Amino acid sequence: MSDTKQRNLVKLGETDLTVGDPAEDIRGRKMLDKSGDDIGKVDGLMLDEDGAKVRFMHVSAGGFLGIGDKTFLIPIDAITKIDEDHVHVDQSKDKIVKGPEYDPSIVRDEGFWESSYGYYGYTPFWTAGYMYPAYPYYGGAGLGGPGRAGTTRR
């Protein structure tokens, strides 16, 4: 059950914040599903303004040569590993492309964020007991952690 506080998530690139460690910036990397299939590209990172922590990956998937792409927000909790060129997630491509699409012009309420977490099988970050993932996992070794995976001011 969520509390009544409004969740305000914004795209990192639209703020004066940056990823705390530039090596941990996954924007522009290809996303691979749990079988190693290409899902799409991480176009951006969504963070909550209160905690200044990354909460979702903004991913373009589907289509051909950028035409017909759909945009999805996938919780960072789905990340299993990050390497130099890829972000690996614990979801299947089929599940992601059938998931809730993201349109920033119409998504303004907490219901979307909550349903996205639920669709992928994760607990929303604002619920009791939520633990920020030890994101990211470069080559299987977590370099970041709850204190380092956030953002800093430019």
Instruction: Report domain extents, the chain.
Output: 9-139
Q: What is the pLDDT of residue 44?
A: 92
Tens-digit pLDDT profile for residues 69-89: 788 899 999 999 998 899 999
Alpha helices in 86-134 (DSSP H): 93-97, 110-120
Q: What is the CATH number of domain 9-139?
A: 3.90.50.10
Rounded CA-CA distance 35/111 in Å is 30
Tens-digit pLDDT profile for residues 94-117: 999 888 888 776 655 667 788 889
Tens-digit pLDDT profile for residues 34-63: 999 999 999 999 988 787 888 999 998 766
Q: What is the pTM of this model?
A: 0.79
Outline where DSSP puts E strands in 4-106. 9-11, 17-19, 30-32, 38-48, 53-61, 70-75, 79-82, 86-89
Contact 24, 33 (CB under 8 A): no
Query: By C-alpha distance, which of 99, 102, 86, 105 is closest to 41?
Result: 86
Average pLDDT of the residues in 112-141? 78
Contact 83, 31 (CB under 8 A): no
